[in-house]
Amino acid sequence: MPKMIVAALLAISIATVTVAPAAIAAEGEASSKTGWPKPTRSLLPGEKLCRYKFSDGVRKVWICDKAVPCCEWEAIGNYVKCGTTITGCL
């Protein structure tokens, strides 16, 4: 029985690792090298549009709540996300 539990947990963790990168994209994220793109969805009340231009020329836009910071990390592949009110962009 313990072997079955370990096997199930291993299968779940492998599935999570392979599916997670697609689910990590910031809300409404869009990118372009030629100009500022439009987000993939409309802004709702209480939200703000975040914009950042990376050093390689890629411009990204994404949507966050007004209360949280817009976060970007060029060092890990031009990654963008919304932070939290407690930890900021950690």
In a domain, 68, yes or no: yes
List, as own/partner pairs, every contact residues 63-69 make where C-beta atoms lie below 8 angstroms and the sequence separation is at least 24, other chains included: 63/26, 63/27, 63/28, 63/39, 64/26, 64/27
In a domain, 14, yes or no: no
Distance of CA 87 to the CA centre of its chain: 16
pLDDT value for 5 = 61
Give the whole-angstrom CA distance, residue 53 versus residue 45: 25
pLDDT in tens, the chain (90 residues): 566 565 555 555 444 433 334 346 788 999 999 999 999 999 999 999 999 999 999 999 999 999 999 999 999 889 999 999 999 998
Give the whole-angstrom CA distance, residue 36 versus residue 33: 8
Distance of CA 65 to the CA centre of its chain: 13
In a domain, 18, yes or no: no
* Structural domain count of the chain: 1
In a domain, 7, yes or no: no
